[in-house]
Structures are given as structure tokens and as C-alpha cells.
Amino acid sequence: MSALSFSPHLHININRNPKLTPKRRAKPNKIRVSLQTTFPQATFSDPFVLQLAESLEDSLPSSSSSSPQPLPLQKLRDSSSQTLLSTPWPSRKDEPFRFTDTSFIKSSQIQPITRPSSSLDVSTDAQFPSLVLIDGFIQNSALNLSNLPDGVYVGSLLGVSDGIMKRVSDFISEFQCGDLFWSINGMGAPDLGVIYVPAGCKVENPIYLKYLSVESGNVDSKKLPISNPRVVVLVEEGGEVGIIEEFVGKEGNDCYWANSVLEVVIGKGGKVRHSYLQNQSLNAAHIKWTAVRQETASGYELVEVSTGGKLSRHNVHVQQLGPDTETELSSFHLLVSDQTQDLHSWLVLDHPQGYCRQLHKCIVAHSLGQAVFDGNVKVNRYAQQTDAGQLTRSLLLEPRATARGIDLETARKALVFSFGAEVIEQFPYPSIRNQVVSHVKNLMGTTDVSFS
């Protein structure tokens, strides 16, 4: 039976008229002292997580004194390994995973991918500068970075200048809200992709990030190769850039696990337009983190269409770190098989005159499909004159439904397109909109439904 689970939240902690209370006798301040050397905190290690962490560590290329790991990557792995020592595998008893069953991953034979696939021809949109990651490994041979403005860098962390290296190092491992899968990625990422936009630079064409999963297993073998691609986007003050992320697998419905992280840091007055397409195999696991930090008067826009994966979960965490900051999130999820599509989002507003809007739409078109949405907007005390809004709309397409005047299949297809149009039309690039429309048509098994 198909299911929908939605938990939108709007927390407002603003005290405009504090209540006056009589003066009371002062109490001594309480001081909390933690002496970990004398009274260490108990840690509860999960054997399964520890075994996975060891296999991830063994899969990484070894460093030497002549070629040490870059500082940001080493910081990331050190902090992630410490977290994994005391983080258990999530279960349905944990509130963030109450409606999301991850046992499909845990019961599989998880195998870290140790090397990139060779001699693979990857096509990208030729009109955009592009960066290709195959099974988490950056493919330098597939770089298409012509006509980028001076000072803009797109590529591996290993190729950045000392100045960019320092800026990336300032932010890596500073995010404190990640979960187990965030740390698994930090432990297993073979490299860091970096997109750097200097102050005042406006990049005209979007940067196209194509993530391709090649190594895979089949349903009978229980083999589940895991990749951990990670990209950092750093936009300095007044900079602007568009980012397109597309996640795909090989032809067919193979089994694999793509465990991805994108970190975005937007300086004062900067803007990032983020398009995200998730078209993974219907037998794949796809877990993604998008963590965004916005400085004063910056803007971030996310448009997402997610259709693939047997289990797909997108964690979006956006924090406004200054006043006059704007955030817009729009997502459309379509389930046409025995799938779970899960969106967990957190928007944290701590400063005056912030603006945020979130639109979530999903269609469950299969009797065994499950859609989960947990949207949390937290407006804290000092976020005065904040304008925050959230809207979610969902459809369950009942297999036994009837339609008047037209046949049932045509009615269902027309309904899908009209329902998703509000999100799809927000993609800022016509070629991406056309690509999404074509993909949805293929999923619905038709080419005769119009879309405008």
C-alpha cells in the first residue's frame, strides 16, 4: 500500500515583549565542568559501523611523507572517523528515520569502490562547463572548463592554489549537524571537488556536475558498491554562480549506493542557483547531503526533481548567518515503483529581515511507493521581521481510479505533468527543463503528453 508521511515544522522563538518578574535573591552561577581525562564519556560503538569504517579506510589510497594528504581532506577524515566511533546505524526507533527504513542498505554486502572505472566515455552538456565524477572519483580527462572567468576554479582539491586551499580548509569539518551518512562520506571520499568563485565575479554559465555510478551489483548477489563523492562550493563576497547536479547510473536497474555531500558557502551579497536532478537506478540507494551557509544579503535557490532510487533521501540544511538573506527551496518527487523518496530539510534563521520559501510536491504512482517529507523552519529570537513560508502538496494515484471523457492512462499522465509543472518550470535553464520533461515522459511511458 502506498504511503505519505509529512512533518512540516515552523518554530518561532521571538520574544518581543518579555515578561517582567520580581527581583529574586540571586543564586550562584552553576558551572558545568567536564574532565574527560578523569571521567571519560561512555561511547557506544556499533560493530557494523566500525567494520564499514575500517573497510572505507582500507579502500583509500595510502599517503606518504613525499605526497601527504591535503590538509582539508585530512581534517575531514579525522573528524569523520571520530564521529563514526560512537554513531550507531539508524533504525526506525530514531526520530529522523521513523518513516525511512535503511535496512535495505545494511542487509547488503557493502563494498567500497577502490579505483575509478577506466576507458568510459561520458557525455555532458557541451554548452556548460562541466566536472564529471565517476563512482566518486573526479575525471580530469572529462573536464570541460572553457570560457571560465579569471580566478574561477573548478576541479580536484589537489590542483588548487595555496590561497584557495586555505579558504577550503577554513570551512571543512566545521558543519556540526551531519548524521552517520555525512560521516561515512567524510571517511570514504577519495577526493574533494572544488568550485571557487572569487569576490565580485559573476559566472555566466552554470557549472555542470555529473555524478555517474558505474560499479554495481545485481539483486541476487546482494552486492552493493558504495561511492562517496564530495564537492565544496565557495562563493566569495558578491560572487554569483549556477550549479547543476545530475545523478545517474548505467543503463538498467543495477544495485549500488551513492552517498553524496555538497557543501555550499556563500559570502556577503553572493548568489547560488542550484539545480538538482536525481535519476538513479530503481534498485539503487541514494543518500545525499546539501549543507548551505549564507552570509549577509546572500541568496540561495534550490530546484530539485527526484525520481530514482529504491531508497532516496535528501538532507538539506540551510543556515542564514546574516540579515537580509534569501532562501528558496522547490522540490518535486515522483515515485513510479516500489520506492522510498525522503526529503528532510532544516532552515535556520538567526538574523533580521530574512526571507525563505519552501515548496514540496510529490506523486506516489505505485501501490508500494512511500514518500516522506520532514520540513523544519526554525525562526530564532533575533530573526525579527522574518518572512518564512512552507507549502507541501501530494498526490496518491490510486490504480483503480477512473476518469471521464479520456482513458485512465492519459488522465494519469496529464495529471503528473500539470502537478509537477510548478516546480519544473523553476529550473533556470531551458535545456535542463527539457531534459526533465523528457525523463518524466519516459517514466510514464508516453511521448504524447504536452508540457508548457
**What pLDDT sits at residue 40?**
36
For cell 613525499, name the residue: 66
| Pair 417, 47: CB distance under 8 Å | no
| Pair 84, 53: CB distance under 8 Å | yes
Helix (H, G, I), strand (E, B) or coil at 290: strand
List the grid coordinates of 377.
523552519
| Pair 98, 70: CB distance under 8 Å | no
Which secondary structure element, helix H or strand E, spans residue 127, and what is its range? none
Phi, psi angle pair for 293, to nearest 5°:
-120, 125
**What pLDDT sits at residue 399?**
62
| Pair 184, 84: CB distance under 8 Å | yes
C-beta contacts of 163-171 below 8 A and 24+ residues apart: 164/194, 164/196, 164/234, 165/70, 165/71, 165/72, 167/196, 167/234, 168/72, 168/192, 168/194, 168/196, 168/232, 168/234, 169/71, 169/72, 169/75, 171/232, 171/234, 171/263, 171/265, 171/293
Which secondary structure element, helix H or strand E, spans residue 112, and what is its range? strand 109-112
What's the CA gap between 148 and 428, in Å, rounded?
19
| Pair 282, 369: CB distance under 8 Å | no
What's the CA gap between 352 and 385, in Å, rounded?
6
List the grid coordinates of 134.
565517476
* Residue 94 CB contacts under 8 Å (≥ 6 apart), including other chains: none
* Bridge partners of residue 109, in order along the sequence: 223
List the grid coordinates of 144.
570541460
For cell 503528473, name the residue: 416
Residue-wise over 261-287: b if at least 16 C-beta within 10 A, else e? bbbbbbbbbbbbbbbbbbbbbbbbbbb
Residues lower than pLDDT 50 in the chain:
12-42, 446-452
For cell 572553457, name the residue: 146
What's the CA gap between 231 and 314, in Å, rounded?
15
